């Protein structure tokens, strides 16, 4: 099997944890490095959650490197109201059995890319702060990045404001830099992630799989369902449906036929008083500008659920061994 080499850049967070579940469950992926940044929570919490979760699933040999603590130019905003004060709802995974790398994330990404045998895909499920900093400091890495698969943005409707998605809103300057870099980008925005949902009935089935891991996942996701349903920009049915946004950024790489999208020119609003962080997708293709982002907008939900649940089963069995 020819594996897909990837670097994961994340900010765990509940849905980042589920993204890591799928990533480490699939044999198609060769995970070279995990980098962490502030986003859903401050970096001390996202770093701890990453080390704790990877220790729990027995993946403590992967390098975890710590990145930037704040957005490029904005005041930091986090999402403890959604993910809980510790970032994982009420779930505790494990005391970390390993420590973060001595290499900072930007150095680790640079050295990993420049010594790779083939171009590497970067999977980014938080603000694009680390990736933007890498491209700004080391533009020579661009030929060594196959593509960036990012969970963030939205073509229609936001969750941080009426028009802006969280990852884009908290660091729009980073998004703008990445989108203008010339590196191919896949955008799994709210347009597709809102369709990649799990019902409460399906989550109840998950909790009865019999593994400690599945029970913890169900507990964590039920917390996530409640907090998502309380936010002002979410639809009423969110109390019945769980959105695991970040999983899409991995799923679209391993099972691309599950998703539908198209290439569009996308730019980011940086200064708008009411629209900061909005990702403006030229759906009508009237700007005449060359498309710079592959925007996903639809998903085969049944296939997505099978993929996600299979990953939870795989990791649950691995832990039990």
Q: Which residues are part of the catalytic machinery?
A: 245
8 Å CB contact between 253 and 314: no
**Would you tell me the crossing angle of helices 43-56 and 14-25 to the nearest 10 degrees?**
40
8 Å CB contact between 89 and 14: yes
Q: Which residues pair with 66 in a beta bridge?
A: 36
- Measuring CA to CA, how many Å separate 247 from each of 102, 161, 198, 254? 28, 22, 12, 11
Distance from C-alpha of 218 to C-alpha of 224, rounded to nearest angstrom: 10
Distance from C-alpha of 86 to C-alpha of 41, rounded to nearest angstrom: 8
Helices (H), ranges, 57-142: 80-83, 105-114, 129-137
> Peptide bond preceding 250: is omega within 30 degrees of 0, i.e. cis?
no
- Please choose, from the candidates 193, 140, 137, the residue with its C-alpha nearest in 3D space to the C-alpha of residue 167: 193
Distance from C-alpha of 290 to C-alpha of 81, rounded to nearest angstrom: 38
- Give the residue carrying structure tokens 């990445």: 178
8 Å CB contact between 252 and 259: yes
End-to-end CA distance of the chain: 24
């Amino acid at each position: 099997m020819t594996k897909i080499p990837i670097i994961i850049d994340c900010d765990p967070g509940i849905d980042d944890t589920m993204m890591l579940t799928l990533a480490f469950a699939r044999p198609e992926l060769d995970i070279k490095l995990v980098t962490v940044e502030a986003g859903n929570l401050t970096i001390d919490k996202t770093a701890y959650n990453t080390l704790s979760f990877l220790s729990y699933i027995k993946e403590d040999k992967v390098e975890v490197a710590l990145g930037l603590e704040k957005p490029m130019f904005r005041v930091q905003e986090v999402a403890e109201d959604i993910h809980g004060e510790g970032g994982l709802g009420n779930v505790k995974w494990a005391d970390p059995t390993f420590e973060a790398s001595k290499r900072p994330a930007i150095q680790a990404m640079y050295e990993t890319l420049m010594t790779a045998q083939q171009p590497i895909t970067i999977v980014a499920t938080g603000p694009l702060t680390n990736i933007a900093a890498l491209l700004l400091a080391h533009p020579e890495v661009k030929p060594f990045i196959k593509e960036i698969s990012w969970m963030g943005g939205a073509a229609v409707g936001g969750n941080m404001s009426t028009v802006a998605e969280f990852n884009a809103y908290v660091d729009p300057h980073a998004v703008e830099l990445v989108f203008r870099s010339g590196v191919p980008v896949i955008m799994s925005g709210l347009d597709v992630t809102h369709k990649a949902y799990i019902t409460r009935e399906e989550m109840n089935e998950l909790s009865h799989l019999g593994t400690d891991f599945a029970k913890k996942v169900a507990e964590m996701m039920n917390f996530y369902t409640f907090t998502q349903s309380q936010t002002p920009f979410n639809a009423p049915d969110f109390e019945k449906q769980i959105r695991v946004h970040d999983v899409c950024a991995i799923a679209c790489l391993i099972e691309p036929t599950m998703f539908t999208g198209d290439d569009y020119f996308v730019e980011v609003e940086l200064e708008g008083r009411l629209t900061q962080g909005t990702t403006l997708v030229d759906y009508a293709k009237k700007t005449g500008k060359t498309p710079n982002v592959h925007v996903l907008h639809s998903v085969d939900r049944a296939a997505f659920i099978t993929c996600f649940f299979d990953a939870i089963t795989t990791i649950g069995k691995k832990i039990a061994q």
